[in-house]
Homo-oligomer: A and B are copies of this chain.
Amino acid sequence: MQWPFSRRANALTSSAIREILKVTEQPDMISFAGGLPSAATFPVEAMQAATQKVLSEQAESALQYGPSEGFGKLREWVATTYSRDGAEVRPSQVLLTTGSQQALDLIAKALIDPGSRILVETPTYLGALQAFSLFEPQYVSVASDEQGVLPEALTAEVIAGARFLYALPNFQNPTGRRLPLSRREALAAIAREHGLPVIEDDPYGDLDYQGERLTSLRSLAPQQVIHLGSFSKVLAPGLRLGYVIADESLIAKLVQIKQAADLHTPSFTQQVVYEIVSQGFLEEHIPEIRALYAERCHAMLAALAQYMPQGVQWNRPEGGMFIWVTLPESLDSTELLTEAIRERVAFVPGAPFYATAPQSHTLRLSFVTVDPVRIDEGIRRLGRLIANQLGGAAEHLPLV
């Protein structure tokens, strides 16, 4: 059967990360490739109690069709929680989504026409590029450094006609970097002045190891910022539950688009999550996640310092799940991965995270699902491989 594929479907190529993840599921692999949170943090007992409560007290609504906007009480909870953190949020500004990945799809449908210019960080979240690309935008990679996007790169010329800027200010996937307050203020000023919509994708904001939170872009430019939040990294990704906070005029369009996309996010999971979070569960739970991830981050940073040869650079994240490694320019991380898989260690090459001009000597390491002993062993193997590829020292670094 020859399917009459659309232009957007014909343009699809298979995802590098997907193919890699298949290999890394093998049990003897030390995998720094996944973007998965640690299952050790999943709230199993709270889930048991909440599912029983929902099914015994409100099964009829939990199992029935619900509003496309989402479960009312959970919208209120999100609004109240965010109102504490700066600018007020009304429940009518909250749309529940099937993970924040869906929010990217809905926003892309609402704001992207073929050829629309959209501004992204360099590099940026691969899943966002996949969501946006189906709507055939023209990407502009905004110059960024180890602290994130450079506000001065957002000149009037770059902004003119752009549909939005997409940014992850907190512990970005893939780099782990966090945008400093001064840049947030500069970005918000630009958004307000030019009426530039800014998507603030924030799945990792709660994962600051010190429990600090920098002021959100939303608080600084509440009219222009579309804020995306998620329960994936603070509760469990298998529930697929996220949310959009934005001006009601945008939410109204997104609700219509959401209705066409899946009618609504499962009532059952929304009600279960509401039962968990409304009891204050996250206030005790998130510090446990932070402590676990901080320990593993520090283990990886220590291993990197110990095993990486000269010329390899990496950042020191203050939160989140990822470290970004820059190899000497002569190396290609995709080629390195092939070798690494043979040595039973995996990571994600950096190139797919670039909307334009991929830098093939970069790679992403995730530390949250691997214990410190295996982190040490995995980084040791990786360090030797890189040293071998750089040559010279090869004789002194046997790979056995």
Residues of A within 8 A of B (CB): 1-9, 12, 14-15, 18, 35-37, 39, 42, 44, 47-48, 51-52, 55-56, 59-66, 68, 97-99, 101-102, 104-105, 109-113, 116, 127, 130-131, 133-135, 163-164, 195, 197, 223-224, 232, 236-240, 247, 249-250, 253, 256-257, 259-269
Residue in A12, A56, A197 with the greatest tally of chain B CB atoms within 10 Å: A12
How long is the Cα–Cα vector from A3 to B116 in the complex, in angstroms? 13
How long is the Cα–Cα vector from A134 to B55 in the complex, in angstroms? 36
From B5, B51, B65, B133, contact of A51 by CB (8 A): B51
Contact B64 A47 (CB under 8 A): no
How long is the Cα–Cα vector from A259 to B237 in the complex, in angstroms? 14
Residues from chain B with Cβ under 8 Å of A102 in the complex: 261-262
Contact A112 B260 (CB under 8 A): no
Contact A127 B6 (CB under 8 A): no
Residues from chain B with Cβ under 8 Å of A105 in the complex: 260-262
Min CB gap A51→B, angstroms: 4
How long is the Cα–Cα vector from A110 to B68 in the complex, in angstroms? 24
Contact A55 B64 (CB under 8 A): no
How long is the Cα–Cα vector from A262 to B104 in the complex, in angstroms? 9
Min CB gap A73→B, angstroms: 15
Residues from chain B with Cβ under 8 Å of A55 in the complex: 44, 47-48, 51
* Sampled A-B contacts (14; CB under 8 Å): A1-B250, A3-B247, A6-B111, A39-B63, A48-B55, A66-B238, A98-B266, A101-B263, A130-B256, A238-B266, A240-B264, A240-B267, A262-B262, A269-B269
How long is the Cα–Cα vector from A44 to B37 in the complex, in angstroms? 31
Contact A110 B261 (CB under 8 A): no
Contact B3 A268 (CB under 8 A): no
How long is the Cα–Cα vector from A262 to B99 in the complex, in angstroms? 6
Question: Which residue from chain B places its CB closest to the CB of A114 in the assembled complex?
Answer: B114
Contact A110 B262 (CB under 8 A): no
Contact B65 A127 (CB under 8 A): no
Question: Which residue from chain B places its CB closest to the CB of A39 in the assembled complex?
Answer: B60
Residues from chain B with Cβ under 8 Å of A104 in the complex: 260
Question: Which residue from chain B places its CB closest to the CB of A266 in the assembled complex?
Answer: B240
Contact A42 B65 (CB under 8 A): no
How long is the Cα–Cα vector from A3 to B164 in the complex, in angstroms? 9
A15-B63 contact, Cβ under 8 Å, with A9-B110, A111-B5, A266-B266: no
